[in-house]
Each structure stands twice: as structure tokens, then as C-alpha cells.
């Protein structure tokens, strides 16, 4: 009973998290749909374990746990790829930003000589 509460609860939490995150509309829609689908499947699988086994056998997987594992791996992989792409986009934004700051700073230095902005960057 407690484990069911926990699993259903975490599914709802995941749902809420997916609905709040994201930025670009098409990727966002996909992420949301996938998240909702996963959460729905999750709840169904917890409440009616027999359904998963039946579904697994109907799609040619022997056991329900195997199906869950497969779906889990696919979902994880999609998630990782999405994160990687987001990290890359972010990196590019930081590059553009840092570059314009560097060019601006130099222009400011030209107009206001004397101020020393050359101290090392402390991470």
C-alpha cells in the first residue's frame, strides 16, 4: 500500500515537474506528452500489475518487468539526449554572450582608460 502511494505520488510529482519545465514549443510539447504518457502508464502499472504483463505479452515481450525495463531505458535515453541538446544550446548562448561582453569591455576601456579590468577571473 505504501509503495503504491509512493509510486503514484512520484508519478504525479514527475507530471507536475514536466508541466512546469521546458522552453521551446515543439520540444516542449513532445516532452510534456511523453511525460504524461509515462506517468499514466506508471499509475496503471502500479494499480493493475496484470495489465502490464498482458500488454507485454501482446507486444511480444515475455514478462511485464521486461517491458517496464525497456520503456525505462528508452525514456532515459530520450531524456539524456534532450539534456545534451539543451546543454549544447546553453553553451552556444554563453559563447555569444561572453563574446559580446569581451568586445563591449574593450570598447569601454577605450573610452575610460585607467580603470583596470585585467584582474584574473576567480571561478
**Which residues lie near other proteins (CB under 8 A)?**
91-92, 94-95, 98-99, 101-103, 105-107, 116-123
Identify which of residues 60 and 120 has a Cβ nearer to other proteins in the complex: 120
Distance of CA 74 to the CA centre of its chain: 14
Find the shortest distance in angstroms from Cβ 32 to other proteins. Answer: 25
| 38, 14 contact by CB (below 8 A) | yes
Identify which of residues 19 and 103 has a Cβ nearer to other proteins in the complex: 103
Element containing residue 121 per DSSP (H, E): none
* Rounded Cα distance, 53 and 9, in Å: 22
Identify which of residues 13 and 81 has a Cβ nearer to other proteins in the complex: 81
Find the shortest distance in angstroms from Cβ 15 to other proteins. Answer: 32
Around 120, how many Cα atoms within 13 Å sit in the side-chain half-sphere? 2
Find the shortest distance in angstroms from Cβ 26 to other proteins. Answer: 17
Around 110, how many Cα atoms within 13 Å sit in the side-chain half-sphere? 6
Identify which of residues 2 and 122 has a Cβ nearer to other proteins in the complex: 122
Over the Cα atoms of the chain, what is R_g? 24
Find the shortest distance in angstroms from Cβ 109 to other proteins. Answer: 8
Amino acid at each position: 500500500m505504501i509503495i503504491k502511494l509512493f509510486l503514484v505520488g512520484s508519478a504525479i510529482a514527475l507530471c507536475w515537474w514536466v508541466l512546469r519545465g521546458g522552453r521551446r514549443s515543439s520540444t516542449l510539447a513532445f516532452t510534456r506528452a511523453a511525460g504524461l504518457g509515462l506517468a499514466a502508464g506508471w499509475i496503471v502499472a502500479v494499480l493493475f500489475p496484470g495489465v502490464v504483463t498482458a500488454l507485454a505479452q501482446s507486444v511480444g515481450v515475455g514478462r511485464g518487468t521486461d517491458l517496464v525495463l525497456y520503456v525505462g531505458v528508452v525514456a532515459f535515453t530520450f531524456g539524456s539526449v534532450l539534456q545534451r541538446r539543451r546543454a549544447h544550446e546553453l553553451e552556444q548562448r554563453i559563447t555569444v554572450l561572453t563574446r559580446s561582453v569581451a568586445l563591449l569591455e574593450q570598447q569601454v576601456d577605450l573610452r575610460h582608460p585607467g580603470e583596470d579590468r585585467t584582474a584574473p577571473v576567480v571561478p
